[in-house]
């Protein structure tokens, strides 16, 4: 991966975390906001080599942990799991939104459910919240709505012209 692509990925992740922790903390439709950082990690994990995709998920999660009010490492674990899930299944779906939309929905629901369970284990009482299901389902729906806007940015920023290419060139 070229250094300028790596710098661009880091900058996009920083912007996504900043938007997630500032704008979306105030602008919440039905008391829920999109999981923008999760969507950005999902978008880049489709095209980056495995090591870089996992590092992107971990770094984005750790940065989000530092700026959010969650225990340190919780988002890092969840977003690394998102990157792994995308790596595991990225060869099985094309750029057709008929496949990508349900995948984004499933990964987002799975990641936010994992966050809720781990948050409860670490004393956050996330599952004890009365609106826990709403805070898992609505961000997943918002992510599906944002996916056509966010997902195409990853290959463009990495200089990839076809969906089967990766950002890693030998």
- What pLDDT digit, counting tens, does each position of 60-91 carry? 999 999 988 778 889 999 999 999 999 998 87
Stated pTM of the model? 0.86
For residue 170, the model assigns a pLDDT of: 31
The CA-based angle 153-17-1, given to 5 degrees, is 50
Please count the other Cβ atoms lying within 10 Å of the Cβ belonging to residue 168. Answer: 15
For residue 97, the model assigns a pLDDT of: 60
| Topology of domain 3-158, CATH | Arp2/3 complex 21 kDa subunit ARPC3 (1.10.1760)
Spans of all domains in the chain: 3-158
| Mean pLDDT computed over 42-58 | 93
Beta-carbon contacts of 26 under 8 Å, excluding residues fewer than 6 positions away, are none
Sign, CA dihedral 130-134-16-117, equals positive
Q: Measure the CA dihedral 71/77/78/81, to 10°.
A: 180
């Amino acid at each position: 991966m070229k250094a300028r692509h790596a710098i661009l990925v880091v900058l996009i992740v920083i912007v996504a975390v900043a938007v997630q922790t500032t704008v979306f903390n105030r602008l919440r439709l039905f008391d829920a906001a999109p999981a923008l950082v999760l969507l950005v990690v999902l978008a880049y994990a489709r095209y980056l080599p495995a090591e870089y995709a996992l590092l992107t998920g971990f770094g984005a999660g750790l940065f989000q942990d530092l700026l959010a009010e969650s225990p340190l490492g919780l988002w890092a674990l969840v977003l690394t799991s998102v990157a792994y899930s995308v790596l595991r299944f990225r060869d099985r779906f094309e750029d057709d939104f008929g496949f990508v939309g349900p995948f984004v929905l499933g990964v987002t629901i799975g990641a936010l459910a994992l966050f809720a369970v781990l948050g409860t284990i670490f004393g956050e009482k996330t599952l004890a919240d009365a609106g826990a299901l709403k805070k898992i389902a609505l961000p997943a729906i918002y992510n599906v709505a944002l996916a056509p806007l966010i997902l195409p940015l990853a290959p463009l920023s990495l200089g990839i012209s076809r969906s089967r290419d990766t950002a890693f060139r030998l």
